[in-house]
Amino acid sequence: MAGAAATGLDPDLDGFTGVMSVRRGDEILGEWAVGLADRTWSVPNTVDTRFGLASGAKTFTALTVLALVGDGELSLQTPARLILGEDLPLIADDVTVDHLLTHTSGIGDYLDEEIDAFAPMTAPVQRLDSTPAYLAVLDGFPTKFPAGERFSYCNGGYVVLALIAERVSGSPFAELVAQRVFGPAGMTASSFPRSDILPPSTATGYKADGRTNVFELPVLGSGDGGAHSTVADLHRFWLALMDGRIVPAELVALATERVTSDTGDGLGYGRGIWLDGDELLLSGGDHGVTASSRHHPLTRTTTTGLANIEVPTFARVKSLMAAARSAQR
């Protein structure tokens, strides 16, 4: 295990393989790197290792879309149908950008977590090498409920947002996120890499049976997942967001507005950001990936856990934040 904890913070690292971090403003209060980033070559995880974020990428998608709203290229009330044209005809006419952002669209989902969060892809993952390529897996799912009726977490809705963003901006989605989020936040170690051309110092994701996740995930992520980052970059992200360097304050307020007060597990949801009391969260999990980053804006404190195995991480990051806030009192 590598790392330091000058404040006496003691995260739960039992069975954990990855990095845990506590940062406040410009200070590193503690960071712990555990286990191997690559088992074949016995490469250890370090505090600078890049990890997949799975659905944590949805936060970046939402802010990219909100940046386009701020530029007047979209509005929250823009009908998805207006941008999609003849594609995905089962998406209802009244579904708006805001319905997609808030998981209230009711559209059928290609990866419906209310049914099976780990269902296999319905197309060979190597074919999913661009956002338009996802049209093949998004199509054919009937509406679940009328738009605006309730919250229902929807992976496909965030890929639709990526499609919309690409079409109105004229830029590939990964480049657009780099321009709108990663660049302004100074997130130099963050990107949407292809799984067959991973950047240096990237952790390989491992399934419970010891195999890698290379055959389980799209070769290139899109609006619902696939970004990679580091604990340092995620702290930079939260500070940049709250300082108005990614989108202006009025759009930050929209992102963090509690649109759904309780999604069923005690958490609220805004637009791409989970809400737990006065803390903001991005979170994700998939084959060989678990990621959770939690930020307390008032104290500018971030706790993050990134793992390259399927291990409970959310509760550990929440406990670490509680300890960090308690130690400050």
Domain at 175, CATH number: 3.40.710.10
**Six-digit token string for 78:** 């823009």
Q: What is the pTM of this model?
A: 0.96
pLDDT for res 111: 80
DSSP 110: T
- Which residues lie across from 279 on neighbouring strands? 276
The CA distance from 94 to 227, in Å, is 30
pLDDT for res 8: 72
Structural domains of the chain, count: 1
pLDDT for res 120: 64
Q: Which helix H or strand E contains 91, and what residues bound it?
A: none
**Please, what is the Cα angle at 273 between 97 and 257, to 5 degrees?**
75
Pairing relationship of beta strands 43-44 and 27-34 according to DSSP bridges = unpaired
Amino acid at 85: G
Q: Is 55 a catalytic residue?
A: yes
Nearest to 295 by CA among 47, 13, 24: 24
pLDDT for res 6: 45
The CA distance from 109 to 89, in Å, is 14
pLDDT for res 112: 81
pLDDT for res 5: 46
pLDDT for res 327: 87
Q: Domain limits at 213?
A: 2-328
DSSP 222: B
With both helix axes pointing from N to C terminus, report the angle between 57-70 and 155-169 in degrees, rounded to the nearest 10.
40
Q: Residue 33: CB partners within 8 Å, gap ≥ 6?
A: 1, 2, 3, 18, 19, 44, 45, 46, 47, 49
Rg of the chain on CA atoms, in Å: 19
Q: Which residues of the chain have pLDDT under 50?
A: 4-6
Which 3 state secondary structure label does DSSP give 269?
Answer: strand
**Six-digit token string for 243:** 């300082």
The CA distance from 239 to 83, in Å, is 33
At 108-160, the pLDDT tens digits run 999 887 766 566 667 788 899 999 999 999 999 999 999 999 999 999 999 99
Q: 21, 55, 169, 283: which one is catalytic? A: 55
Query: Residue for token digits 């067959």?
Result: 196
**Six-digit token string for 177:** 């996120």
Q: What are phi and psi of 210, to 5 degrees?
A: 95, -10
CB 42 within 8 A of CB 122: no
pLDDT for res 318: 97
User: What is the arrangement of strands in the sheet containing 274-276, beginning at the earlier edge strand?
Assistant: 2-4, 27-34, 18-24, 301-307, 289-296, 279-286, 274-276, 268-269
Burial of 60 (0-12, 13-18, 19+ CB in 10 A): buried
